[in-house]
């Protein structure tokens, strides 16, 4: 990994890992709920979405506390979606990031409710952002609700479940990934721009960048699922393939998927290069996601 990105990630990931539990810790709620929320929040992960939000923000300004809080909101959404996806009624996964899934530890009811509470808390965090205009808060909440809801992530999850019943073509697969993964990554990027007061023309470039990055992320995920090492991945390699699921390597061959990965990575870097802000960290992020090994 590039040195500049490495120091960006190490400094900012530490800050996210520190603030994220506080967004739940300080609330008054039943101990059982807090424990199950904190369990998943502290289960680790790459924190890609909050880091992207901070990276987009820092293309325009030095980091501030309200930005870390917004970054935690997007990670709460991501974490809730994992808890609900892992449930027996959905993917029925026992392990996530090498640890037992939430419902395996706390039971299904608590896992469902911990997810509901995180989703709700994310909107509260945005509405509570310090040093942020009401106008920016409303923009952020609009963007997040669209990215995370029926037209975005939740809709993508349903389309993905429906898609498992049939063979998808590339366009259908892409549409699912845009919603299931891309929209929330895209939100992270554009939220950084909104908070930094980026010019209107940059917001649409950031949106386009986020869309491409989402595909890079997903195609790489599919490739890793074929090639990856199950210990590094925290789940068995080939687990998607076992389920007869449509993936990029399956539709395009492994070589074709790799070519497509490079194409979207180039496209993302092109959009980053067109920003009025600095684009180094965003560009290096694309390469990091493109070349990651887990």
Which residue ranges make up the site for a copy of itself (CB under 8 A)?
A: 24, 27-30, 32-34, 37, 80, 84, 87, 89-90, 107-110, 112-113, 115-117, 119-121, 123-124, 126-128, 133-135, 137-138, 141-142, 144-146, 148-151, 154-155, 157-159, 161-162
Nearer to a copy of itself, 8 or 80 (CB): 80
* Inter-residue contact 115 to 105 (CB < 8 Å): no
* Inter-residue contact 172 to 165 (CB < 8 Å): no
Rounded to whole angstroms, how far apart are CA atoms 75 and 5?
20
99: β partners? 96
Token output for 270? 């092109």
Rounded to whole angstroms, how far apart are CA atoms 115 and 37?
8
Rounded to whole angstroms, how far apart are CA atoms 260 and 251?
11
């Amino acid at each position: 990994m590039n040195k500049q990105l490495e120091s960006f990630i190490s400094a900012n990931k530490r800050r996210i890992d520190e603030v994220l539990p506080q967004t739940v810790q300080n609330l008054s709620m039943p101990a059982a709920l807090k424990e199950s929320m904190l369990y998943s929040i502290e289960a680790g992960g790459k924190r890609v979405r909050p880091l992207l939000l901070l990276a987009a923000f820092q293309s325009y300004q030095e980091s501030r506390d309200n930005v870390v809080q917004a970054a935690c909101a997007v990670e709460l959404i991501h974490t809730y979606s994992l808890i609900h996806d892992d449930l027996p009624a959905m993917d029925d996964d026992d392990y996530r990031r090498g640890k037992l899934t939430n419902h395996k530890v706390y039971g299904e009811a608590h896992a469902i409710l911990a997810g509901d509470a995180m989703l709700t808390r994310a909107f509260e965090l945005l509405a509570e952002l310090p040093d942020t205009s009401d106008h920016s808060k409303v923009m952020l909440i609009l963007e997040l609700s669209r990215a995370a809801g029926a037209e975005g992530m939740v809709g993508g999850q349903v389309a993905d479940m429906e898609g498992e019943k049939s063979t998808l073509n590339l366009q259908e697969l892409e549409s699912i990934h845009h919603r299931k993964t891309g929209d929330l990554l895209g939100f992270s990027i554009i939220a950084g721009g909104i908070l930094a007061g980026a010019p209107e023309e940059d917001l649409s470039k950031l949106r386009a960048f986020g869309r491409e990055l989402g595909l890079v992320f997903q195609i790489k995920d599919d490739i890793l699922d074929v090639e990856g090492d199950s210990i590094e991945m925290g789940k068995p390699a080939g687990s998607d393939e076992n389920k007869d699921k449509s993936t990029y390597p399956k539709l395009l061959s492994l070589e074709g998927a790799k070519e497509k990965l490079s194409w979207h990575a180039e496209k993302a870097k092109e959009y980053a290069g067109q920003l009025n802000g600095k684009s180094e960290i965003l560009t290096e992020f694309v390469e990091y996601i493109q070349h990651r090994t887990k």
